[in-house]
Amino acid sequence: MRFLPEPSKPDGAASRLPGRAVLLCNLGTPDAADAPALRRYLAEFLSDPRVVEIPRWLWWPILHGVVLRTRPAKSAAKYARIWSPDGSPLAVWTDKQARLLEGYLGQRGQRVAVRPAMRYGQPSIAGVLSELKAGGASRILVLPLYPQYCAATTASVADAVAAWSQRTRALPELRFVNGYHDDAGYIDALAKRVSDHWMKHGRGERLVMSFHGMPARTRELGDPYHGACHETARLLAERLSMKPGQWSVTFQSRFGAAKWLEPATEATLRALASEGVTRVDVICPGFTADCLETLEEIALEARAAFLAAGGKAFHYIDCLNDQHEWMVALASIALRHLQGWE
C-alpha cells in the first residue's frame, strides 16, 4: 500500500491551524444540477455498500446498466427546482454551519478549526482531513450532521475516515460522534423551530415528523436508526406538550423495490387528507440542513400529494439550518466530545 506523502510543516505560526479541529460531515451533493454531475454523484453514493446492501455481482449490472443511465436526468430536474444562486442548498447550509460553529466555539473560549466535508462529492472527507493535518491539526473530532445513528450514514462517514487513515503514515488523534438523537439542546432547537412557526402561521391539525427512510431489513438486522427516530419524535412531542393523535412519525425517500420502514410519508399525508384533516405541518427532524429531500420531496411533492387528496393547507417547517438555538446545541455537543483535548 502506498501512503500519502507527509505534508511539510506550515511556515510560521500565523499559517498554522489550531491543534484541535472539527470535521463537520454531511451526506453530500452534486456540484451542479445537471445529468453529468448527478451521474458522478450517484455513482459514488450508490456504490457504497453501506447504502445498498446487495452483493456487488448482483447490484453492479443494475447500477451501471440501468440506474446510472436513467436516474441522473430525473434527479437533475428535481435538483433544478431547488438549486439556489449560491449552489446546492445542502452545501450552502453546511458551509455556513461550519463557519458559525467555529465562531460559537470561539465565543466559549475554544480555539478550534471547523471545516465542512461531504461523504459523497466535494469537499471530500479525505481531502479535508489532509488539509487539516497539513495545517497543523493533530486532534480531529469527526462530527456528522446526522442526529440519528444509522449504518448507511454515520458508519459510512467512519468508513471514509478509516480509508483515509489506511493511507496516512502519521495519523492525528481522532474521535467520532455517533449520534445525538436525544440531546436536550437538539430537541429544544427543534421545538423552538416548530413553536416559532406556529406563532407566525397558526397550528395545523397534525404535526407530521418525516425521517429519511431505510430498508426495513436494516431494522431486522439490528440497526438502531428506527428506534432513534421514534425517540426523537417522542421527545419533541413531549417538549411541545402534544397529545397522542396530534403527531405522527413517517419515513420518506424510498428507493428500489424492497420493503422500507413504514408508514411512508406521502401515503400518510394522502390518508390524512382522505380522513378529513384539512391542514398538516411537516418537519424533518433528521435533516439538520435543508436539501433536496426536504425542499423538493416534502415542500413540493408531498405538498402536492396532500392537496390533491383533498387537504386544504400544507405547511413545511424549515430545517434547523443556521438557527441560533441549534448552533448553541451543536457547539455543546462538540465541546462534550472535545473534553480533555487542550
Q: What is the pLDDT of residue 14?
A: 47
For residue 133, give the nearest of 2, 1, 6, 3 by alpha carbon: 6
Which residue in the block uniquely carries the three cell numbers 458551509? 95
Instruction: Kindly report the number of other CB atoms within 10 A of residue 90's CB atom.
Output: 26
Instruction: Kindly report the number of other CB atoms within 10 A of residue 287's CB atom.
Output: 27
Averaged over 53-81, what is the pLDDT? 96
Kindly list the distances between the CA atom of residue 28 and the CA atoms of 37, 69, 88, 259, 304, in Å, as whole numbers in the listed order. 12, 21, 10, 25, 26
Element (H, E) at 68: helix 68-82
For residue 76, give the nearest of 40, 122, 101, 103 by alpha carbon: 40
The cell numbers describing 265, all together, are 410519508
Which residue in the block uniquely carries the three cell numbers 455481482? 57
Confidence tier at 17 by pLDDT (50, 70, 90): confident
Averaged over 50-72, what is the pLDDT? 96
Question: Would you call 229 exposed, middle or buried from its count of C-beta atoms within 10 A (0-12, 13-18, 19+)?
Answer: buried
Does 40 score more than 70 pLDDT? yes
Q: What is the pLDDT of residue 10?
A: 59
Sheet holding 247-252, edge to edge: 247-252, 206-212, 279-283, 313-316
Report how far residue 112's alpha carbon sits from residue 101's, in angstroms, rounded to the nearest whole number.
9
Does 1 score more than 70 pLDDT? no
* Secondary structure letter of residue 21 according to DSSP: E
Rg of the chain over Cα atoms, rounded to whole angstroms, equals: 21
pLDDT, tens only, 154-167: 999 999 999 999 99
pTM: 0.96
Kindly list the distances between the CA atom of residue 136 and the CA atoms of 85, 122, 128, 200, 306, in Å, as whole numbers in the listed order. 34, 22, 13, 47, 52
pLDDT, tens only, 120-141: 999 999 999 999 999 999 999 9
Q: How far is CA 229 from the centre of its chain?
A: 13
What are the backbone angles phi and psi of residue 289, rounded to the nearest 5°? -140, 140
pLDDT, tens only, 264-316: 999 999 999 999 999 999 999 999 999 999 999 999 999 999 999 999 999 99
Q: HSE on the CB side for 145, CA within 13 Å?
A: 31
Confidence tier at 15 by pLDDT (50, 70, 90): low
Which residue type is seen at 231? Answer: E
pLDDT, tens only, 181-205: 999 999 999 999 999 999 999 999 9
Share of the chain above pLDDT 90, in %: 93
The answer to whether 268 touches 250, Cβ cutoff 8 Å, is yes
Q: Could you give all domains of the chain from N- to C-terminal order, each with its CATH number?
A: 13-180+325-338 (3.40.50.1400), 184-316 (3.40.50.1400)
Report how far residue 122's alpha carbon sits from residue 145's, in angstroms, rounded to the nearest whole number.
16
Which residue in the block uniquely carries the three cell numbers 488523534? 173
Report how far residue 25's alpha carbon sits from residue 158's, in angstroms, rounded to the nearest whole number.
10
The C-alpha angle with vertex 298 and arms to 297 and 300, in degrees rounded to 5, equals 75
Mean pLDDT of the chain: 96
Does 11 score more than 60 pLDDT? no
Q: HSE on the CB side for 103, CA within 13 Å?
A: 9
Averaged over 27-54, what is the pLDDT? 97
Share of the chain above pLDDT 70, in %: 98
